[in-house]
Amino acid sequence: MYTRLIGLLALAVSSTSFAQDISSAQYQTPQGELLVRTSQPAAHDYGPPPPFAQLDATHAGFITAAQADHYPPLANDFIQADRNRDGRISKAEYERWIHQH
């Protein structure tokens, strides 16, 4: 019974076009009504970007992907922030990224 219900739920979810304003949907199943509620998680406030020197903990003059992980918004945008695609973010690239966000 649970396998069947899960299968029906998966079918209902996969066949529904989700938009941001949809918060719930009702489906009739052989076992009765199924209510599916959806929502977006609250946005996390990471605060202002830290100074370059704080992320460049080794004082090498650039931020690596591992160092960017300490500020999730930068880690998420690492490829875009690394304008010359050398696998690291220079101070100029970091400053440009800050001003774009």
pLDDT in tens, the chain (101 residues): 545 545 545 554 444 444 445 689 999 999 999 999 998 888 889 999 999 999 999 999 999 999 999 999 999 999 999 999 999 999 999 999 999 98
- Domains belonging to the chain, first-starting first, are 2-37 (no CATH), 52-100 (1.10.238.10)
- The DSSP secondary-structure symbol of 63 reads E
DSSP output for 14-56? HTS---TT--EEEEEETTEEEEEE--PPPPP---SPPPHHHH-
Please give the pLDDT value at position 19: 43
